[in-house]
Structure 1
Amino acid sequence: SAMPHKKNPILSENITGLARMIRSYALPAMENVNLWHERDISHSSVERVIAPDATIALDFILNRLTEIIGKLVVHPKVMLENLNKSLGLYNSQRILLALIQKGMSREKAYSIVQSVAMKSWKEKKLFSESLKKDNRITKFLSEKEIDTSFDSKYFLKNVEKIFKRIF
């Protein structure tokens, strides 16, 4: 890296590059489909390259990813600090959708939410508080509805389902 202070995620970057290679094999595989009813030697030459190469690359990716995840260190306190630095702006889409559900056009809702978000950021005020003080918002959403849109539990609501599905 040209930035000496930065620790490059080399292992993750390596996975990304190999995934790009595997995706690139989709084109020759799809081109083989057109000729399935008329198989000839051109099929096997492609298949002899992409099948083992993609399989080996995928095996390597999965092993490397297992290694990365095994050594992954999560700092919940730092994550929360980073979220708080955003002043709640990451909830802007939830407010946008709530306004649309209340009958506001998407274009108008987008414009209003964006202007309140920009003002909130510029003034370094909590986005939720800025929303509660804006008549264009409070005409459609109550204070409780705004607070509900900022409940972080919303983003975690499917965690148990995901874990059950994976493990």
Structure 2
Amino acid sequence: ALENVALWHERDISHSSVERIIGPDSTILVDTMIHRTTKLLENLVVFPDKMMENLKLTRGLVFSEGVMLLLVEKGLTREAAYELVQRNAMRVWREGGEFLEVLMEDGEIMSIVTEEELRGCFQLERSLRHVDYIFERVLGQEA
């Protein structure tokens, strides 16, 4: 496409070859992408138990964004919330343990949120609550 702007201020025959190629090439590329994606999705095999096992291997660190957003909702700046979450996440990463337990041991965090609010951040259903809406919006039907 950039080869088509060699003479931006005037139109001549030199643009013709590029314009004749870019349209067909682009549509062939899109067709190939759609075909490969369709084939991938038709043959996709999902192992929910293995997915859950992989989530548990993170020791709760996958829920760190939800914790940070809760702290922001409670009035902390994004930077302050990030620092609190990162400090505890790095502790879990280095020393082990469960992220939720480490957070509940942090007096600074527990002075801002309740245990119930914090536990709510670790509910997988909360992270997946908009999945059906997204599928319906994208595909025009319920998942």
Corresponding position: 1:101 with 2:73: yes
Q: 1:52 aligns with which of 24, 31, 53?
A: 24
Distance 1:119 1:28 in 2: 53
Distance 1:47 1:151 in 2: 53
- Tell me the secondary structure at the aligned position of residue 72 of structure 1: coil
Distance 1:112 1:90 in 2: 15
AA aligned opposite 2:123: D
**Matched residue pairs, number?**
138
- Identity among equivalent positions (%) equals 42
Q: What CA deviation, in whole Å up to 9, does each residue of 1:129-149 have, x standing for no partner? A: 111110111011110110111
Aligned residue number for residue 123 of structure 1: 95
Question: Which ranges of structure 2 fall in alignment gaps of 5 or more residues?
Answer: none
CA 28–126 in structure 1, closer or farther in 2 if over 3 Å, else same: farther
- Tell me the secondary structure at the aligned position of residue 141 of structure 1: coil
Distance 2:82 2:29 in 1: 43
Distance 2:21 2:109 in 1: 58
Say what the alpha-carbon RMSD is for the aligned residues. Answer: 2.0
Question: Which ranges of structure 1 fall in alignment gaps of 5 or more residues?
Answer: 1-24
Distance 1:106 1:44 in 2: 52
With 38-47 and 139-148 compared, the bigger mean Cα shift is at: 38-47
Q: What CA deviation, in whole Å up to 9, does each residue of 1:97-135 have, x standing for no partner? A: 111121112222211111111112223211111111101
Misfit runs of 4+, over 4 Å: none
